[in-house]
Structure 1
């Protein structure tokens, strides 16, 4: 990114900074030696859309469906129908995403959970469990 704004300048014109992000483009801000990127929610949703969530499932002998999320293999659920399985997987994923967010440093720096970060950010952008369930591909 060619233009990196100084944090002092951003503080002095925070409203303009936000307007630029929302209406024009993402912005980079430098404070001391740290550089952060700022995106609007819509921009982030579009950037994270490439992180698709898929689930695998099997139908048991009793007709129930059991499945797991391919990208986050620890999340498993079951349901009486595929729609119920999808909802249950989404519900568990939202719970995991909230836990990940609350303990971000621990999860992000864990070798077996680091790769979950973009999926978690994508889930956290959604408004409810139903919208997360709609993100899944079978």
Structure 2
């Protein structure tokens, strides 16, 4: 890495990280989502789990997280409920979001006809009842 010109301060670590995240737009959409959005959620979940490991014990934290032990039966029930909520809500939501996004991406990749053209073809083939009769049939 080259040093800046004299008198110009070098970038801080935060600015370099920000520039790296902004330059990651060249990644495809799932990888970009994993770097920018999912990493924040997974980091937060990791903090909750590690703190639970220190407060409740690692075995108890895992058992509360996966639902084997009731949160009220641990040393700190208030944190047990937080950890159980994360296990029941956050983990399936992140997994479902990632799977749904990747499946949708694969379906879109294999779609060979535009959606508007497909809907137009379907409505033409369906026929329908046609136009209503005019009032001058007498």
- For Structure 1 versus Structure 2, the TM-score category normalised by the shorter chain is under 0.3
Higher helix residue share: 2
Structure number with the bigger relative contact order (C-alpha 8 A, sep ≥ 6) is: 1
Higher strand residue share: 1
TM-score, structure 1 normalization: 0.24
